[in-house]
Amino acid sequence: MAYVNDVILQVIKRNPNEPEFHQVIKEVLPSIEPLIEENQEIKNIGILERFVEPERQIIFRVSWVDDNGKTQVNRGFRIQFNSSIGPYKGGLRFHPTVNIGIMKFLAFEQILKNSLTGLPMGGGKGGSDFDPKGKSDAEVMRFCQSFMTELHRHIGAELDVPAGDIGVGAREIGFLFGQYKRLKNVYEGVLTGKGMTFGGSFVRTEATGYGLIYFMEEMLGEEKKDFAGKKVAISGSGNVAIYAAQKVQQLGGRVVAMSDSNGYIYNQNGIDIEEIKKGKEIERKRISQCYLPASNTKYAENCFDIWSVKCDIALPCATENEIDEKAAETLVSNGCIAVGEGANMPCTPEAIEVFLKNKVLYAPGKAANAGGVATSGLEMSQNVMRTFWTFEEVDAKLKTIMQNIYKKSSEAAVRFGHKGNLMVGANIAGFEKIAHAMLAQGIV
Ligand code: NDP
């Protein structure tokens, strides 16, 4: 469609050197063409042109002093991409690879993901090229305080509510919240993923991983399949990976491989998840230090080779573009029946093609990993109501939300002639709500 192509070309021209942002735009825009054909107003009032341009982009210097008394300078970002259905909402990532293009791709995905949850949340994302790895708690605290000293001007419980992502967990959220409260002199739910003693929600820690598995259960269930007895390879060993692994085990599956950015461990008899959880969450170890040589679990360098481990189900839960065409072909030839994206955009477009061509069930991240932000939405509700729901209550709400996301995505795929293609379904179902809100709110 010429209109869609023109918008894609404009994005590439206006945002040079941002390959991840281009990648997500090239994935999403063509898949929503059928909706645009049905509703010419989208074109007439430039919905797409506005949809691909962030409402606001904030870039700032973050200066802090390390334990040796040396001044360090990092760069901070917050992309407030789209607020048509609610306040901006999306995580903060602290990782050396963070740049404006990665922030924009993540914020753009977040718009559609948040829309799919059915909760009133707009799309945003932020972070820094700061690397928390190897830093002392005091250094992480000083960095977080400096980061928030600028960010606090741009966020608020009714405006923009950040959360965690890669490199931002309970420790960082605590430091960020403390500094926000001190600067603004208000106690409000400005961040989610907070500790349970200061406004956090049950299940937020587990939510993305558990939500991924709830989504996969729906997808597998449609084919009369389930996790029982299945061998599952999970990349990463962070927040998403650990709780996806835990839920897989609870459902009778066997986690045969996990990784970090240095390498992966594997064991066809199953990995001891509690051992990994303790090593990663409490002792902050590398995965090579978590495995027990006596237990027949093996370690290999090169994290991306994890996809050569024979498995029935693959759950990429580490980072973007970690499954390329070759890895996808290896998974298919090893008999993999389903792939679920816990991470954001972990499969390249070529890899997705391989899965679709070979009838491998494919769960796109914006739908399958939406459980984290959905539970953040539930945390926001509890903060406003000044109440707490029990673990069981939040878990039940999360499960219902994931079932609904599956249903919406799958029905949209059928409605627009792409039965079984959840990528197309999730993009259309997510965009539909945004487009209606943008149409109603005029040209802003
Ligand atoms: P964590 O920081 O808790 O864990 C990230 C894991 O992925 C670590 O094991 C890390 O290894 C590995 N990893 C990170 N970057 C790379 C890389 N460039 N190459 C190889 N491995 C890497 O992050 P999360 O678990 O929170 O996030 C993982 C993914 O899930 C991300 O894509 C994130 O955007 C997405 N996501 C997270 C949500 C959440 O609620 N946390 C919600 C929705 C999506 P190492 O320790 O060696 O760096």
CATH classification for the domain delimited by 2-190, as one of 3.10.20.600, 3.40.50.10860, 1.10.1780.10, 2.120.10.30: 3.40.50.10860
Whose Cα sits closest to atom 11 in ligand 1? 260
**pLDDT tens digits along 311-362:** 999 999 999 999 999 999 999 999 999 999 999 999 999 999 999 999 999 9
Quick one: DSSP state of residue 87? S
- Nearest protein CA to atom 3 of ligand 1, as residue: 238
How do the domains of the chain map onto residue ranges? Answer: 2-190, 207-363
pTM, full prediction = 0.97
**324: exposed, middle or buried (Cβ count in 10 Å: 0-12, 13-18, 19+):** middle
Lookup: tokens for 406:
């599956």
pLDDT at residue 295, as a whole number:
78
- Which single residue is written with the structure tokens 């994931």? 402
pLDDT at 356: 97
Contact 164, 144 (CB under 8 A): no
pLDDT value for 293 = 67
pLDDT reading at 292 higher than 80: no
**Sign of the CA dihedral with 106 first, then 378, 232, and 329 last:** negative
Ligand 1 centroid to 353 CA: how many Å? 24
Q: Which superfamily does 207-363 belong to?
A: NAD(P)-binding Rossmann-like Domain (3.40.50.720)
Q: Which residue has the tokens 């673990």?
A: 391
Q: Is the pLDDT of residue 68 over 80?
A: yes
Q: How many angstroms does the Cα of residue 175 sit away from the middle of ligand 1?
A: 20
Pick the atom of ligand 1 nearest to 259's CA.
Answer: 9
Q: Assess whether the C-beta atom of 206 lies below 6 angstroms from ligand 1.
A: no
* Res. 180: pLDDT tops 80: yes
pLDDT tens profile 212-254: 999 999 999 999 999 999 999 999 999 999 999 999 999 999 9
Q: 377 in ligand 1 pocket by Cβ < 6 Å? A: no
Query: CB of 267 closer than 6 A to ligand 1?
Result: no
Residue 63 has pLDDT above 80, yes or no: yes
Q: Is the pLDDT of residue 117 over 70?
A: yes
> For residues 78 and 268, what is the distance between their CA atoms, to the nearest angstrom?
42
Equal CATH topology for 2-190 and 207-363: yes
Looking at the chain, the whole-number percentage of residues with pLDDT higher than 90 is 97
> What value does the mean pLDDT take over residues 14-22?
98
Q: What is the pLDDT of residue 1?
A: 85
C-alpha 312/C-alpha 430 separation (Å) is 29
Distance, CA of 208 to CA of 205 (rounded, Å): 8
